[in-house]
Protein backbone atom coordinates (compact mmCIF):
# COMPACT_ATOMS: atom_id res chain seq x y z
CA UNK A 1 0.00 0.00 0.00
CA UNK A 2 1.23 3.44 -0.87
CA UNK A 3 1.54 5.85 2.05
CA UNK A 4 -0.75 8.80 2.61
CA UNK A 5 1.29 11.94 1.97
CA UNK A 6 0.39 15.04 3.95
CA UNK A 7 2.59 18.04 3.13
CA UNK A 8 2.72 20.55 5.99
CA UNK A 9 1.52 23.94 4.83
CA UNK A 10 3.59 25.49 7.66
CA UNK A 11 6.62 25.28 5.40
CA UNK A 12 4.89 26.90 2.41
CA UNK A 13 5.26 30.49 1.22
CA UNK A 14 2.47 32.29 3.10
CA UNK A 15 2.73 35.27 0.78
CA UNK A 16 1.65 32.96 -2.04
CA UNK A 17 -0.68 30.68 -0.16
CA UNK A 18 -3.19 30.27 -2.97
CA UNK A 19 -0.60 29.07 -5.47
CA UNK A 20 0.97 26.78 -2.85
CA UNK A 21 -2.43 25.18 -2.19
CA UNK A 22 -3.07 24.88 -5.92
CA UNK A 23 0.27 23.14 -6.30
CA UNK A 24 -0.81 20.66 -3.60
CA UNK A 25 -4.14 20.19 -5.40
CA UNK A 26 -2.28 19.15 -8.53
CA UNK A 27 0.22 17.00 -6.70
CA UNK A 28 -0.03 13.41 -5.49
CA UNK A 29 -0.51 14.64 -1.92
CA UNK A 30 -3.48 13.04 -0.17
CA UNK A 31 -4.07 15.51 2.66
CA UNK A 32 -2.96 18.99 3.61
CA UNK A 33 -1.38 18.99 7.07
CA UNK A 34 -2.24 22.15 8.99
CA UNK A 35 -0.18 23.02 12.07
CA UNK A 36 -1.93 25.21 14.62
CA UNK A 37 0.37 26.54 17.37
CA UNK A 38 -0.72 28.74 20.25
CA UNK A 39 2.52 29.91 21.86
CA UNK A 40 1.53 28.04 25.02
CA UNK A 41 1.50 24.33 24.30
CA UNK A 42 4.48 24.92 22.03
CA UNK A 43 6.94 27.83 22.01
CA UNK A 44 5.75 29.17 18.67
CA UNK A 45 2.64 30.71 17.11
CA UNK A 46 1.67 29.69 13.59
CA UNK A 47 -1.72 30.85 12.36
CA UNK A 48 -5.41 30.60 13.16
CA UNK A 49 -8.88 30.56 11.67
CA UNK A 50 -8.63 33.27 8.96
CA UNK A 51 -5.65 31.54 7.37
CA UNK A 52 -7.23 28.10 7.71
CA UNK A 53 -10.36 29.39 5.99
CA UNK A 54 -8.25 30.88 3.21
CA UNK A 55 -6.60 27.49 2.71
CA UNK A 56 -9.98 25.78 2.68
CA UNK A 57 -11.27 28.08 -0.05
CA UNK A 58 -8.67 26.72 -2.45
CA UNK A 59 -7.96 23.20 -1.22
CA UNK A 60 -9.62 20.21 -2.86
CA UNK A 61 -8.11 17.68 -0.47
CA UNK A 62 -8.86 16.84 3.16
CA UNK A 63 -7.42 19.19 5.78
CA UNK A 64 -5.54 17.28 8.48
CA UNK A 65 -5.47 19.72 11.37
CA UNK A 66 -2.83 19.21 14.06
CA UNK A 67 -3.69 21.23 17.16
CA UNK A 68 -0.63 22.15 19.20
CA UNK A 69 -2.71 24.16 21.62
CA UNK A 70 -3.76 23.99 25.26
CA UNK A 71 -7.45 23.36 25.97
CA UNK A 72 -8.19 22.21 22.41
CA UNK A 73 -11.72 21.25 23.52
CA UNK A 74 -12.62 24.96 23.42
CA UNK A 75 -12.12 25.14 19.64
CA UNK A 76 -13.06 21.75 18.14
CA UNK A 77 -16.36 22.87 16.58
CA UNK A 78 -14.74 26.00 15.17
CA UNK A 79 -12.00 23.99 13.50
CA UNK A 80 -14.56 21.67 12.02
CA UNK A 81 -16.51 24.65 10.65
CA UNK A 82 -13.27 26.00 9.21
CA UNK A 83 -12.97 22.83 7.15
CA UNK A 84 -11.01 20.29 9.20
CA UNK A 85 -11.62 16.68 8.11
CA UNK A 86 -9.22 15.24 10.65
CA UNK A 87 -8.63 16.92 14.00
CA UNK A 88 -5.73 15.76 16.14
CA UNK A 89 -5.26 16.91 19.71
CA UNK A 90 -2.20 16.29 21.85
CA UNK A 91 -2.59 13.74 24.62
CA UNK A 92 -0.39 16.00 26.75
CA UNK A 93 -2.87 18.87 26.33
CA UNK A 94 -6.03 16.98 27.32
CA UNK A 95 -7.19 16.26 30.88
CA UNK A 96 -10.24 14.48 29.51
CA UNK A 97 -8.93 12.90 26.37
CA UNK A 98 -11.75 10.37 26.00
CA UNK A 99 -14.31 13.15 26.14
CA UNK A 100 -12.42 15.27 23.64
CA UNK A 101 -12.21 12.35 21.19
CA UNK A 102 -15.98 11.93 21.41
CA UNK A 103 -16.39 15.67 20.93
CA UNK A 104 -14.34 15.57 17.72
CA UNK A 105 -16.31 12.60 16.39
CA UNK A 106 -19.61 14.30 17.19
CA UNK A 107 -18.68 17.07 14.73
CA UNK A 108 -18.30 14.46 11.97
CA UNK A 109 -14.52 14.90 11.77
CA UNK A 110 -12.07 12.04 12.16
CA UNK A 111 -10.37 12.02 15.55
CA UNK A 112 -6.62 11.88 16.00
CA UNK A 113 -4.29 11.91 18.98
CA UNK A 114 -0.79 13.36 18.69
CA UNK A 115 2.02 12.23 20.98
CA UNK A 116 5.17 14.14 21.85
CA UNK A 117 8.43 12.23 21.43
CA UNK A 118 8.64 11.51 25.18
CA UNK A 119 5.09 10.17 25.51
CA UNK A 120 4.71 6.40 25.59
CA UNK A 121 2.30 4.87 23.10
CA UNK A 122 1.16 2.56 25.92
CA UNK A 123 -0.83 5.51 27.31
CA UNK A 124 -3.19 4.99 24.37
CA UNK A 125 -4.20 1.52 25.53
CA UNK A 126 -7.67 2.55 26.67
CA UNK A 127 -8.52 4.89 23.80
CA UNK A 128 -6.85 3.37 20.76
CA UNK A 129 -10.03 1.57 19.66
CA UNK A 130 -11.85 4.93 19.53
CA UNK A 131 -9.48 6.93 17.36
CA UNK A 132 -8.97 7.20 13.62
CA UNK A 133 -5.37 8.34 13.67
CA UNK A 134 -2.33 8.58 15.93
CA UNK A 135 0.19 11.25 15.04
CA UNK A 136 3.60 10.29 16.37
CA UNK A 137 5.78 13.37 16.65
CA UNK A 138 9.24 12.57 15.39
CA UNK A 139 10.51 16.01 16.47
CA UNK A 140 9.54 18.14 19.46
CA UNK A 141 6.55 20.09 18.17
CA UNK A 142 6.77 23.81 17.53
CA UNK A 143 8.96 24.22 14.48
CA UNK A 144 9.46 22.86 11.02
CA UNK A 145 12.87 21.86 9.74
CA UNK A 146 14.08 19.91 12.78
CA UNK A 147 16.06 16.69 12.88
CA UNK A 148 14.17 13.39 12.92
CA UNK A 149 14.31 11.52 16.26
CA UNK A 150 15.41 7.92 15.63
CA UNK A 151 13.50 6.44 18.58
CA UNK A 152 10.36 6.97 16.48
CA UNK A 153 10.96 3.66 14.68
CA UNK A 154 10.60 1.77 17.95
CA UNK A 155 7.44 3.70 18.81
CA UNK A 156 5.85 2.78 15.48
CA UNK A 157 6.45 -0.90 16.22
CA UNK A 158 4.90 -0.63 19.70
CA UNK A 159 1.96 1.37 18.38
CA UNK A 160 1.36 -1.10 15.57
CA UNK A 161 1.27 -3.94 18.11
CA UNK A 162 -1.18 -2.02 20.27
CA UNK A 163 -3.44 -1.27 17.29
CA UNK A 164 -3.54 -4.95 16.35
CA UNK A 165 -4.05 -6.12 19.95
CA UNK A 166 -6.99 -3.75 20.45
CA UNK A 167 -8.46 -4.33 16.99
CA UNK A 168 -8.20 -0.62 16.24
CA UNK A 169 -8.45 0.94 12.79
CA UNK A 170 -6.20 3.86 13.70
CA UNK A 171 -3.74 5.05 11.07
CA UNK A 172 -0.18 5.83 12.12
CA UNK A 173 1.01 9.25 11.01
CA UNK A 174 4.61 10.42 11.37
CA UNK A 175 5.25 14.12 11.78
CA UNK A 176 8.61 15.87 11.81
CA UNK A 177 11.87 15.54 9.93
CA UNK A 178 10.42 13.16 7.35
CA UNK A 179 12.51 12.88 4.19
CA UNK A 180 13.40 10.50 1.40
CA UNK A 181 16.04 8.76 3.53
CA UNK A 182 13.90 7.82 6.53
CA UNK A 183 10.70 7.05 4.63
CA UNK A 184 11.48 3.42 3.65
CA UNK A 185 12.11 2.34 7.25
CA UNK A 186 9.11 4.33 8.53
CA UNK A 187 6.90 2.45 6.09
CA UNK A 188 8.52 -0.88 6.87
CA UNK A 189 7.80 -0.36 10.58
CA UNK A 190 4.14 0.37 9.85
CA UNK A 191 3.61 4.06 9.17
CA UNK A 192 0.48 4.81 7.11
CA UNK A 193 0.74 8.58 6.68
CA UNK A 194 3.76 10.84 6.32
CA UNK A 195 3.81 14.55 7.06
CA UNK A 196 6.56 16.47 5.30
CA UNK A 197 7.07 20.21 5.50
CA UNK A 198 10.50 21.56 4.74
CA UNK A 199 11.52 18.52 2.73
CA UNK A 200 8.71 19.25 0.27
CA UNK A 201 8.60 23.03 0.21
CA UNK A 202 12.35 23.65 0.31
CA UNK A 203 12.95 21.27 -2.56
CA UNK A 204 13.56 22.50 -6.10
CA UNK A 205 10.51 20.67 -7.42
CA UNK A 206 7.85 20.10 -4.73
CA UNK A 207 5.56 18.22 -7.13
CA UNK A 208 8.30 15.74 -7.87
CA UNK A 209 9.33 15.48 -4.21
CA UNK A 210 5.75 14.61 -3.26
CA UNK A 211 5.55 12.05 -6.06
CA UNK A 212 8.81 10.47 -4.91
CA UNK A 213 7.59 10.18 -1.32
CA UNK A 214 4.34 8.68 -2.52
CA UNK A 215 5.81 6.14 -4.88
CA UNK A 216 9.12 5.04 -3.43
CA UNK A 217 7.79 2.25 -1.25
Task: Report the DSSP pairing between strands 84-90 and 63-68.
Answer: parallel
- To the query of whether residue 38 is one of the catalytic residues in this protein, the response is no
Number of residues assigned to the chain: 217
Q: What is the CA radius of gyration of the chain?
A: 16
Cα dist. 98→76, 87, 94, 127 in Å?
A: 14, 14, 9, 7
129/212 with CB nearer ligand DX5: 212
- Per CB under 5 A, 90 contacts Zn ion: no
- To the query of whether residue 192 is one of the catalytic residues in this protein, the response is no
Q: Taking CB within 5 to 8 Å according to partner kind, which of ligand DX5, Zn ion, none is near residue 9? A: none
DSSP letter for each residue of 116-133: -TTS-GGGGTTTGGG-SE
Contact predicate 172/151, CB 8 Å: no
Contact predicate 208/19, CB 8 Å: no
Min separation Cβ 22 and ligand DX5, Å: 20
Min separation Cβ 195 and Zn ion, Å: 6
Task: Give the x-and-dash track for 115-154 against Zn ion (CB under 5 A).
Answer: ----------------------------------------
Site for ligand DX5, rule CB under 6 A = 8, 10-11, 33, 35, 66, 139, 141-146, 175-178, 195-199
Min separation Cβ 167 and ligand DX5, Å: 28
108/175 with CB nearer ligand DX5: 175
Which residues are catalytically annotated?
A: 35, 175
Amino acid sequence: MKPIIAPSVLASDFANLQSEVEMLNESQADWLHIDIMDGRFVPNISFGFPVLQAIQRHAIKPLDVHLMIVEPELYIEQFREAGAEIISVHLEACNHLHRTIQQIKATGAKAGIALNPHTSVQLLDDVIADVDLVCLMSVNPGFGGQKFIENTYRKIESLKNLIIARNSKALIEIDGGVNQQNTPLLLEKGADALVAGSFVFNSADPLKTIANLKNQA
